[in-house]
Amino acid sequence: MQEKTNLDKALQLGLNEAEYHRILEILQKTPTFIELCLFAAMWSEHCSYKNSIFWLQKLPRSGPQILNAGKSENAGLVDIGGDYACAFKIESHNHPSAIEPFQGAATGVGGINRDIFTMGARPFAQLISLRFGDFSANEQKTDRLTKGVIQGISHYGNALGIPVVGGDIFFNSCYNHTPLVNVLSAGIVKKSEIANAIASGEGNPVFIAGSTTGKDGINGAIFASANINDESDKQIPAIQVGDPFAEKLLMEAALEAIQAGDILAIQDMGAAGIICSTSEMSARGNCGMQIHLDRVPLRNKNMQAEEILLSESQERMLIILEKGKEEKVKKIFEKWKVNLVQIGEVINKSSLQFLMNNEIIADLNPQYLVAGYGAPVYQREYTKPDYLKSIEIFDIEKIPQNISYQKEADTMLQLLNLCDKNWAFEQFDSMIGITNLNTNSEYNANLIKIKETNQILALSISGNENYVQAHPEIGTMIAVAEAAAQIYCSGAKPLAITNGLNFGNPYDTDVYWQFTECIKGLCHASEKFKTPVSGGNVSFYNQYEIENINTPIFPTPIIGMLGILENENKPIASNFQKAGDDIYILGKIHNDISSSTYAKEICQIKFSPAPHFNIDDELQMMHNMYALIENNVLQSAQRISKGGLYIALIKSASKKNFGIEISTSKDIRKDAFLFGESQGRILISVKKENEKNFKTFCIEKNIPFLKIGSLNSTKEICIDDISYGNIEEMKTKYQNAFRKQMDRF
């Protein structure tokens, strides 16, 4: 006799009262404990997207470059021409990383790469976007989380054999208790070998492949759908434990079987484990499955049925084969020493039947469980936050000015949010597969040579939580523009977007307003740049509770972008190239320090508006940039972003240790000129012999430009005839600041 349940039990599992009563209506009876557990897992925010799916459906998802893989949501697919497509996606593993940073980050890497190779695509590159707390608030905790996450990514990614080719790492007090760990992975697949995750064919066998099932990760989806608090560390058993070597073997076996045409459907067994993969695959195929839980290979003895169903043990897949091909596929998996065990079969009705020792312990319609089908969909109330009132009255004229900013410039170079993060990236293998063309940070985007097609693909990742906190819609558009600029400034063209959307609790009306505004910004920007959203991830509940006071993170949309270099002879460097070249700024310069690192860190201005941004000017600038690169007019190009012109100058000069002599504008405050982060500006260098052609082009196209100086071989950085230091000494400070912080413990 199975345990009966009640409303209190439902509330303990994360369901609300309305959801419990809906379950009663669906089942026409009181649910058993197992049934209630399955609904709780599948209707959790992590699996159902119940508070975001209404708004996500507004995103532009179609275009000639977007391929439909049969409504499989493992990853987005982008047509890159010829016989091939690129699968790419961002996933987060925030909650697990807050409790156990090493395993939390490591299993996040495993999960996102499984999403890629279950499409039939071989992963070729990863990018990271990490957020941690302020070291001054709790230095040892921030140090532990930062090192743990970086070591976890390194451990799993290096062993799996997929290079980390780039990314960003930033620090902000809003992440003191809730770090963000977003990982992008991209893979290449023949269009004829794309795999789907749709169950079909009555009588076709259902297999579990990969590692054994244990008690690690049980209720992980429910854990990820609640605020972090002082009791969260007691949920460490919810953290999965990963084995990258097992995943490597699973990947090779799965790809070989997919390429042989022997797999009908395949899905990663990630969040919510067996119940999630069986229900989602069944719902997509409008069919069902009969699953024998006692046939599932276990690593822990005496596991209960609900534990088997909800375990999130890593490196596992659910695979459906065409009946009669079992032995052929088993030989492939045996060759790679990977478990492949039949646990059930497809049935021709909307029924998920779970059996234990031939006794049915749960029989549910999968349509009622799955996001986009019968799972709940909510439109939450939202209100514009009060904190924005203080932002809107910001007055730059109240900020005092200096004659020289040498001290401030020296401080800026060593700020953790601006300095070089080589300490972290040196721990990642960036050269596995020898396809990464950007190992020396020569280009704005991360350029990867695809050996299967002889093409060069460009990947970028962007996000600035300070801008989004100040104005969620504009801040999100800036993230899209930044990602696109990295692509364009490398000589490539953008194709599509993937996103990782990180927010606090959706039941908080301020947070939900931020979310809806970000979606509006993402819609508008992706339409403008003609970069449809191929897929992505939403992570809510990045919020910390202390004595009933909730502190959400700043809204943090992370934008990943895929582009293609159509002319492989035309990638352009971000670094200055030759002494004697002239230095220009393309775009309008504004008297603006709003939401800049300078305003926050040097002027101690906690809140200020988003920096100046005009999306039409931005788009036109990028098209003009592309034309200038195509016409061989430019020597280098780098978008002016975090840290403003000064940081862009130092980064561009330090590669070859150039000296610089520039003059600021009398019409713009010097601090705004040097450190402001107004958008739509690109730092370029031009050969003397190309100067006439460059100016003629800009005048004809009505492109704003300003010559600010030139490069020399003195190694001295001079601004308005004042020396700011030697570039070699400045580079040492820039490169060592983060390393010194990480060496403190």
pLDDT score at 571: 86
Task: Decide if pLDDT at 236 tops 60.
Answer: no
Residues forming beta bridges with residue 449, ordered by sequence position: 456
At residue 462 the predicted structure's pLDDT band, cuts being 50, 70 and 90, is: very high
What per-residue string of b and e applies to 363-386 under the rule 16 or more CB within 10 Å gives b? ebbbbbbbbbbbbbeeebebeebe
- In sequence order, the 6+-apart residues with CB closer than 8 A to the CB of 667 are none
Distance, in Å, from the CA atom of 263 to the CA atom of 682, rounded to the nearest integer, reads 48
Check if the beta carbon of residue 114 is closer than 8 Å to that of residue 148.
Answer: no
**Average pLDDT in the 60-79 region?**
79
Start-to-end C-alpha separation, the chain? 55
Residue 491: exposure state from Cβ atoms within 10 A (0-12, 13-18, ≥19): buried
46 is catalytic: yes
**Alpha-carbon separation of residue 707 from 334, 404, 505, 663, 714 (angstroms):** 65, 21, 48, 9, 20
Cβ–Cβ contacts within 10 Å for residue 492, how many? 30
pLDDT greater at residue 389 or residue 80: 80
What per-residue string of b and e applies to 558-587 under the rule 16 or more CB within 10 Å gives b? bbbbbbbbeeeebbbbbbbbeeebbbbbbb
Check if the beta carbon of residue 603 is closer than 8 Å to that of residue 593.
Answer: yes
Task: Decide if pLDDT at 589 tops 70.
Answer: yes
Distance, in Å, from the CA atom of 113 to the CA atom of 157, rounded to the nearest integer, reads 9
**Average pLDDT in the 307-317 region?**
92
- In sequence order, the 6+-apart residues with CB closer than 8 A to the CB of 722 are 404, 406
At residue 342 the predicted structure's pLDDT band, cuts being 50, 70 and 90, is: very high
The 10s digit of each residue's pLDDT in 390-422 is 887 778 888 888 888 999 999 999 999 999 999
Write the single-letter amino acid at 388.
L
Task: Decide if pLDDT at 232 tops 60.
Answer: no
Catalytic choice (21, 46, 471, 590): 46
What six digits make up the tokens of 586?
A: 């393309």
Among candidate residues 133, 174, 23, the one with its CA nearest the CA of residue 543: 174
At residue 69 the predicted structure's pLDDT band, cuts being 50, 70 and 90, is: very low
At residue 217 the predicted structure's pLDDT band, cuts being 50, 70 and 90, is: low
The 10s digit of each residue's pLDDT in 429-449 is 877 765 667 666 678 899 999
pLDDT score at 544: 87
* Of 425-439, 490-504, 509-523, 675-689, the least confident: 425-439
Distance, in Å, from the CA atom of 665 to the CA atom of 704, rounded to the nearest integer, reads 14
3-class SS of residue 521: helix
Q: Distance from CA of residue 161 to its chain's centroid?
A: 20
**Alpha-carbon separation of residue 160 from 193, 241, 279, 508, 741 (angstroms):** 22, 15, 29, 39, 29
What six digits make up the tokens of 38?
A: 């399955």
**Alpha-carbon separation of residue 57 from 76, 371, 503 (angstroms):** 15, 12, 18
What six digits make up the tokens of 271?
A: 């969040």
177 is catalytic: no
Task: Decide if pLDDT at 634 tops 70.
Answer: yes
**Average pLDDT in the 247-264 region?**
96
Distance, in Å, from the CA atom of 42 to the CA atom of 541, rounded to the nearest integer, reads 17
Q: Work out the angle between the directed axes of helices 244-259 and 139-160 (0-180°, nearest 10).
A: 40
pLDDT score at 70: 38
Q: Where are the alpha helices (DSSP H) in 71-138?
A: 94-99, 101-117
Q: Work out the angle between the directed axes of helices 101-117 and 244-259 (0-180°, nearest 10).
A: 10
How high is the mean pLDDT of the chain?
92
Residue 429: exposure state from Cβ atoms within 10 A (0-12, 13-18, ≥19): middle
Q: Distance from CA of residue 261 to its chain's centroid?
A: 31
**Average pLDDT in the 210-222 region?**
76
Among candidate residues 448, 454, 461, the one with its CA nearest the CA of residue 492: 448
Check if the beta carbon of residue 676 is closer than 8 Å to that of residue 600.
Answer: no
* Of 432-441, 449-458, 568-577, 736-745, the least confident: 432-441
**Average pLDDT in the 339-357 region?**
96
Distance, in Å, from the CA atom of 518 to the CA atom of 512, rounded to the nearest integer, reads 10
The 10s digit of each residue's pLDDT in 707-728 is 999 999 999 999 999 999 999 9
Distance, in Å, from the CA atom of 247 to the CA atom of 600, rounded to the nearest integer, reads 43
Check if the beta carbon of residue 675 is closer than 8 Å to that of residue 598.
Answer: yes
pLDDT score at 234: 53
Please report the DSSP string for 164-214 in residue order.
EEEEEEEE-GGGSS--EEEEEEEEEEEGGG-------STT-EEEEEESPB-
**Average pLDDT in the 168-181 region?**
95
3-class SS of residue 714: coil
Check if the beta carbon of residue 715 is closer than 8 Å to that of residue 726.
Answer: yes
Q: Distance from CA of residue 632 to its chain's centroid?
A: 33
**Average pLDDT in the 612-638 region?**
93
Cβ–Cβ contacts within 10 Å for residue 540, how many? 28
Task: Decide if pLDDT at 125 tops 90.
Answer: yes
Distance, in Å, from the CA atom of 719 to the CA atom of 730, rounded to the nearest integer, reads 14
Distance, in Å, from the CA atom of 223 to the CA atom of 65, rounded to the nearest integer, reads 36
Task: Decide if pLDDT at 521 tops 50.
Answer: yes
Distance, in Å, from the CA atom of 742 to the CA atom of 745, rounded to the nearest integer, reads 7
Residue 280 half-sphere exposure, CB side, CA atoms within 13 Å? 29
Among candidate residues 566, 426, 569, 397, the one with its CA nearest the CA of residue 495: 566
3-class SS of residue 544: strand
Distance, in Å, from the CA atom of 500 to the CA atom of 377, rounded to the nearest integer, reads 20
Strand pairing of 122-132 and 164-171? Answer: parallel
What per-residue string of b and e applies to 272-288 under the rule 16 or more CB within 10 Å gives b? bbbbbbbbbbbbbbebb
Among candidate residues 634, 644, 701, the one with its CA nearest the CA of residue 488: 634
**Average pLDDT in the 291-300 region?**
94
Catalytic choice (93, 95, 155, 612): 93
The 10s digit of each residue's pLDDT in 649-674 is 999 999 999 999 999 999 999 999 99
Among candidate residues 477, 430, 460, 476, the one with its CA nearest the CA of residue 638: 460
